[in-house]
Each structure stands twice: as structure tokens, then as C-alpha cells.
Chains A and B, each alone.
Chain A
């Protein structure tokens, strides 16, 4: 094994060595120190084992019965139960408070309600069954005087504990099913204000954002049109493409329905915005959509959490390569007015470089874009 790794090391360029010989020196005394500690612990365990054996033997020599390990283990089970219950309680109260803040979207509130109901139900079962399990272990630990109670089955109680979980789960399923269907419905209902379409595209290891211009429509994309200037492969034979805007931060107007158009260019990514309870994979070749309505602005959330640095974020939640752990973008929820003001400052997707590449007689699209910006300023 060592030989193999040495070989591998030899093959690698010596670039690593240049970054500091000292840092790469193994502190063998430190390693030896830990190994020694481990051996001392092992020795300690062995000594305790021997002492127990001698104690056991001495008891037997005196004509008593040896150590009753069944009793010892029964008591340890009871101690574990008490310590475990306290640990679970501590974990719930301390770490439970470190979890996500309240949902910042309409559908998220429903998810949170269902989460609370499920938590209460499952925690009741958790505590009861664990208490019974370890309680029984202590209560019915081995005794020479007793015989176990011969009870092969009891149809009544078995029916009860089949039917009761079935009913509870049915309730959870029915609620879950309808909530899920509603959340996943990404079409705008009749009479509803049209959602704002935002295009989010993942690639190794960043997100690209594209906002529609004044026509409110995103231009279509084709992967085979992708070039260095046309990063997303927007199809400029279609009119709706010309006024599209690119952005660095995802700004969302509060209380407006947003429809994310989610795509990936190279491998699967996942758009994860936990504060809004939004997640959907970005799959190459399969556009997906998630519709949601943010309800709390960034500044309001900062106020509520008493954290002036708080930001909503969107990050990748599907393993996508070495940079997976740092593929994020800031999301800002703002008022409608702020949103429009911000949008008016965004650059058009159709850059000069792209125009050159597409051999546009630049007069017409140039005009369209500038008009668009004017319109937004008003």
C-alpha cells in the first residue's frame, strides 16, 4: 500500500513540494503520542478486565455466585435510557433552535405545518417505543427464579397495531399528496397575475441568471448555439430573445409569483433555496420549473433574525464535481419598486461581443434594448 502511494507521489509534479517543505514534514512524535495514548487505553481496558476476572473468581471461591452480568447490563440499559432521553431533549432544544428560520414563501408555510404535525406524531412514537424497549430490558433482565411468559401471539393487539399506524399514515399521505400536487403545479391559474419568469442555469461551478425584458418573455435556448459569448445558447432568431437581461444576483419582488426555469448545461445540479422551501434538480436536456411566492423581504428577515448580514442564498445540492461545495448565489427579496429599479440597471444578455459574433447589423437590436431600458426607467 505504502509502496503504491509512493509511486503515485513520484508521478505527481513536484509543484506541491514548492509550497513549503516545513508544512509537509510529518510530526512523527505527535503521531507516536496518539498511538501511545491508544495503547495506554487498551492497557487500561485489559487491566480492568483482569481485575473484574479476579474479583469474579474470588467471589466464586467464597462460594458466592460470580458477577451477575445480566443485572449489570440491565442497569446500564436503564442508565442509557435516562441519559439518552436527556441527550435527545438537549439536542432538540439546543440544536433544534439552530435550524432554518420560518418559511419565506407561501407554500413553505404549508410544508412547515406538515413538518410540525409529522414531528409531533413521530416523536410520540419515538419516545414511547424507546422507553418501552430499554424499560423492558431492565424490568425483564434474567433471573434464575423466573420463567418467561409464553406468549406466541395475540391477534387483537396485532390488529390494533397494524390498523392504527395505517390510519395515521393515511392521514399524512392524503395531506402530503394534495400539498405536493399544489406546490408542483407550475402553471398560472386563470385570473392569477402572471408569474415572473426567471431563467437559472447551472454549470460547473456557478449559476447563470437571465431575466426577461419588457415583453416579459424569455427567449428560447438551444444547447448547440452555445458559444463563449452566447454562454446559454439563446436563440436569436426569435424576437423574445433580444430584450433578455443577465444578472449576477437573484432579485425577487416580494409577494409576486416567481417561476424559476431550471436548466443545467453539463451535469446534474440542484437549485436549493432552503429559506423558501424550494428545491428542484437542474438536469441537462430536461428543463424543470418551480413556482413560488416569496413573502419576506431580505431586510425584514434581517430584522426578524437580528442578523444584519443575513442573505438568502441559492446553492447546489446535487453532487456535481470538485467545486460542488461552493456553488452559490445571493438571493435578495425586495419591494416591487426596488425590484424595478434594480432590473433597469441590469445589462442586456445581447452584448456587443455577441452581436459581432452573430453578424448583426447592430442598428435594430441596439435600439430595441435602449428603448427597453428607457421604458423600465419610467
Chain B
């Protein structure tokens, strides 16, 4: 059994007097993906923030790389990437400049040299010198993905990465996820409903009434050509 890179033990969080999550336990080892499903307001984004150490739980502990998320040191934070609804991009910088900024910030070895390759990967080469302010939502999403993957993370936390993406975009995310898993990344994804991706195994969970429960029917891909399907409920 691999040691878990992402862990939650007995996580509780409440906003004031209203509990959001209760007793959440989770362990995600390297090279595996946990897909967490829940309705709006169920606490998915909150859980991602807790795992990232951006929020403090009212009880329990979230940890990454075996250390508490809340007090991660600089070296550990270098190995973490987060993707949320917010793009983390500077509107008045160009696509290239944004990526350069993050490459420098995360001290990625040869980071700057790889930027053209990443831009091509996410299909933004022609927009490399355009300011992010002029981007469409979809373009922003793609650039955010490049930003997240550029830093070669070992832990990836993604809050609803499939939302507001077209079929190509979803395919891109799927490809990037497969690559990340191949690189032995530990990944947590959230979504509204379960998703299947060929070639990728998820550990499915759902948040119901603040509790995290494994969801039955683990999604395993078929050997058909690359196809993404949403399993209806």
C-alpha cells in the first residue's frame, strides 16, 4: 500500500454555527485519482481548500506529503498545483508572461524554455502575446491548465475542472490527467456528477450531508477510442 500523498483525517468544518463537512476521511496515494461528486453547496470547493491548506478546519487534519496542509513549507508547496473556478491569471499580462511568472515563482528548472511547448499543448500558441484580459472563458481555462501543469506538480487539486469546457477542452483535461497519473501524481477532482474517462481509473466518492462516502460503481474505462461520458443519475 502506497503512502498517501493527499490525506484527510476526521475533517470538520463549519461556517459559524453551520456545519459543512463532518468527519471527512480520505487517502489518495501516488498515481491515483479521487473524483469527488456532490451537489452545489455540498462542500466540494471547501474540501479542496482544506486539502490545499488555504482554509483551517474546525477539527481534524488535512495533510499533503505527510505534513499538515496548513503549515506546508515552501518546498512542499512547490510540488502542489491547484485549479479552481478562479484562473489565478493576471488580466493585464500576456499568456506567455503569466506562464513565465509562475515558472519563475515555482523555480521550475528550464521552466521558461518549456513555455512554448505548453502553449502549443493547450492550443494557445497564437494567443501567446495577447493579454489574458482579452481571452474567452475557455481560453482562460486552457491557460490555467498550462499554469498548473507547468510546475510539474506531484499533487493536483482540481475543483470542477470540467465545468464550462467544450468537448475539446474536456479532452485536453483528460489527456493532462492521464499524463499526470503516469508521472505518479496524486489527484483530487471534484464534479457535479460522476464522469468516466477511458484509460483512467477513479476512486469515486460523494459528499452527502457533509459526509464523504465512497460511491458505488467505480468507473473504469473501456478500450474504445478515447471517449468521455457523463453517467446520468
A binds B: no
B residues contacting A by CB (< 8 A) are: none
A residues contacting B by CB (< 8 A) are: none
